Amino acid sequence: MTWTNYHNHCKYCDGVEEIETHVQQGIIEGVVSLGFSSHSPVSFENKWSMKEKDIPAYLKDIQAAGEKYFGQIEIYKSLEIDYFPQQSGVIKKWVDNLDLDYSIGSVHFVDAFEDGMPWEIDGPLMTFEKGLEEIFGNDIRKVLEKYFEYTVQMLEKDCPTILGHLDKIKMQNHHRLFFDENATWYQDLVKQALEVAAKSGVIAEVNTRGLYKKRASETYPGELGLRLLKKFGIPICLNSDAHQSKEIIGEYKNTAVLLKHLGFKELMVLKNNSWQAMPFDVNGIHW
């Protein structure tokens, strides 16, 4: 069994445990290529973004782990970078300034409250309901249109290496039904975003976190998005979005079964510092 994971959070943001602990568990789980992607620092206080002062230690720990476990596992450095329309080129700046091996671009915030605090769309139910009412007048369709508008802007203006959890906003439907995921208007938004993704050269992650955390009934993106990824020929990678070392390959086998059923034959992996498409089966990547 051989796997990879490029979406991994440790103690430097909202993850837990030392970087080395994640690496050791990855080796046990058969992970041969592991990327660390702590949440990038942002300009406002929140509970899960990395502090800018911690970046040197974060990079140092990643480098030390790569050297210590050389020959056993490949280690890569990255950030999961929040996209904000008003911040031009922020993804490119982080990549260039820190010489990152790759980047994950994600939308976690949509618009802002009256006091200027960005609205977190994948946080607690109470926060989601508050923003839905106060910012969007309880018009969920406007929220979804804005969410995917941000995604499209990111792909067109500041494209990351990996598109993070495309439809993660649907996790709120796990609490109560805010919108019908089978509605034509919603499916059109997903399709339009992926049409742009197909032209951008981005790798789309298939994110398993919602499954193993019981916050969704399918991956991010779900089957609709997966079928469109296949149709448009967009390359994919399999990521767990781990926040604990025990989650590093969470729900990988079941997801691999689905991907094979949908006709996917290859996953993108970082091998010898180069992105490569490699065949896989339900037991792992043919490394």
| Number of structural domains the chain divides into | 1
Question: Strands 274-281, 266-271: parallel, antiparallel or unpaired by DSSP?
Answer: antiparallel
Copy the structure tokens of residue 171: 């996790």
CATH of the domain at 261: 3.20.20.140
Scan for tokens 């031009």, then name that residue: 88
pLDDT means per 10 residues, the chain with 287 residues, are: 96 97 98 98 93 97 98 98 94 98 98 97 95 98 98 98 97 93 97 98 98 95 97 98 98 98 98 98 96
Task: Answer whether 246's CB lies under 8 Å from 28's CB.
Answer: no
Q: How many other CB atoms are found less than 10 A from the CB of residue 197? A: 25
| pLDDT for 1 | 78
* SS3 letters across the chain: CEEEECCECCCCCCCCCCHHHHHHHHHHCCEEEEEEEEECCCCCCCCCCCCHHHHHHHHHHHHHHHHHCCCCCEEEEEEEEECCCCCCCHHHHHHHHHCCCCCEEECCEEEECCCCCEEECCCCHHHHHHHHHHHHCCCHHHHHHHHHHHHHHHHHHCCCCEECCCCHHHHHHHCCCCCCCCCHHHHHHHHHHHHHHHHHCCEEEEECHHHHCCCCCCCECCHHHHHHHHHHCCCEEEECCECCHHHCCCCHHHHHHHHHHCCCCEEEEEECCEEEEEEEECCEECC
| pLDDT for 88 | 87
| pLDDT for 175 | 84
Q: Which residues partner with 163 through β-bridges?
A: 105, 204
| pLDDT for 176 | 87
Give the pTM.
0.97
> In terms of residue numbers, what domain contains 161?
3-285
What is the rounded CA–CA span in Å between residue 271 and residue 150?
Answer: 31
Copy the structure tokens of residue 246: 């025990």
Copy the structure tokens of residue 204: 């789309």
Using CA atoms, how far residue 75 sits from 6, 47, 59, 164, 278, in Å, is 9, 26, 11, 19, 18
Task: Answer whether 18's CB lies under 8 Å from 247's CB.
Answer: no
